[in-house]
Amino acid sequence: MPDIAPVTRNELQERRRQLKTNRRNRLLQTSWRSVVVLGLAAATVWIVLQPNWVIRRSEQVKIEGNRLLSSQTIRSLLPIQYPQSLLRIQSSQISDALTSKAPIVEAVVERHLFPPGLIIKIREREPVAQAIYGSGGKLAQSDPKIIVKGEKGKATDKSNSSPNPNAGNLGKAAIDSTPPDAFLDEEGMILPIEGYTEWNQGIKMPDLKILGNPDVYRRQWTSFYPILRRSPVRIQSIDWQSPTNIRLKTEMGWIHLGPLGRSFTLQMRSLDKMRQLPKRLPPEQIDYIDLRNPNNPTIQLKNSRSNAPKSSEESGL
């Protein structure tokens, strides 16, 4: 075996000094790096907290994506006390405040330092129908609702209000002249009218009207409305006062569907095939069209000598 040269005492001492020196250098490097990082962080915080990085006016908040609610309306609902540092503004708090106080589905908050300000991108709940509660249409306390504060700070909540006194026991012709109690979006959310009209006087009301207790039809609305929206036949109003016989008002007159079920898609297809009916039979002569059996629709005429309804084949369709 090869001989191993002995290590002298001086060499051991030199190695120890070298290791201590290396450790000291590494410690100094780590310390300097920590000091630099802390210094940069402190400088960043100091810069952000300077007056140039503070939101002093609501006009420094830019609103994007709004069509129904004005930018001023949305700014008035923000939980921001001016002046406010950009560093202290919590995006989640702003988003939660807007979605809970206004008819807004989503709010995304972005900070900008140059120039200092906020950009809030929102997605509104768009009304698709006018809801007329009718008799007994008062909503339950547990129902979803939207609350929007008015200009004077008073909360508006139409979801638990009393039913429209003019909407009880409405006839077929009275729906068009009855003012709505609330709006309805495509997800079945009840939206108070004041949440839109008080802030935006130029809002265009949706043409579709639905009469009945929202407690009855809201769970079915999300599956019912998409089919209704795709229909080539224009639906003017819906009478849902009786779940056993849902009625649609169209340019051809009233359509009786019976209870809503799996045949609804087939019923709408059958209704589409009858679009030429007004050219062959004046609508004023039609009492209603019965589509409870979509494979054999029948037409009930007004003041007919016989109460027996006509089938679509007998009407030349």
Q: 131 and 70 in one domain?
A: no
Is position 89 within any domain?
yes
Single residue among 124, 153, 176 that ends a domain in this structure? 124
pLDDT at 303 over 80: no
The residue segments making up the domain with residue 69 are 53-124
Q: 204 and 97 in one domain?
A: no
Is position 44 within any domain?
no
Is position 47 within any domain?
no
pLDDT at 170 over 60: no
What is the rounded CA–CA span in Å between residue 308 and residue 246? 21
Give me the helices (H) in 49-174, please: 71-76, 91-101
Is position 243 within any domain?
yes
Distances (CA, A) of 148 to 55, 143, 151, 158, 296: 25, 16, 10, 10, 48
Q: 138 and 99 in one domain?
A: no
pLDDT tens for 240-296 read 999 999 999 998 899 999 999 999 999 999 999 998 888 888 888 889 999 999 999
Q: The domain that contains 210 carries what CATH number?
A: 3.40.50.11690
Single residue among 124, 152, 187 that ends a domain in this structure? 124
Q: 299 and 158 in one domain?
A: yes
Q: Residue 167 has what pLDDT?
A: 40
Is position 70 within any domain?
yes
Q: 147 and 117 in one domain?
A: no
Q: 88 and 208 in one domain?
A: no
Reported as a pLDDT band with limits 50, 70 and 90, residue 307 is: very low
Distances (CA, A) of 179 to 129, 130, 157: 12, 9, 17
Distances (CA, A) of 249 to 44, 171, 237, 239, 242: 64, 12, 5, 8, 15
What is the rounded CA–CA span in Å between residue 138 and residue 134? 9
Number of compact structural domains in the chain: 2
Q: Residue 107 has what pLDDT?
A: 95
Q: 168 and 94 in one domain?
A: no
pLDDT at 154 over 50: no
Single residue among 94, 124, 154 that ends a domain in this structure? 124
Is position 171 within any domain?
yes
pLDDT tens for 78-117 read 999 998 888 888 999 999 999 988 889 999 999 988 888 9
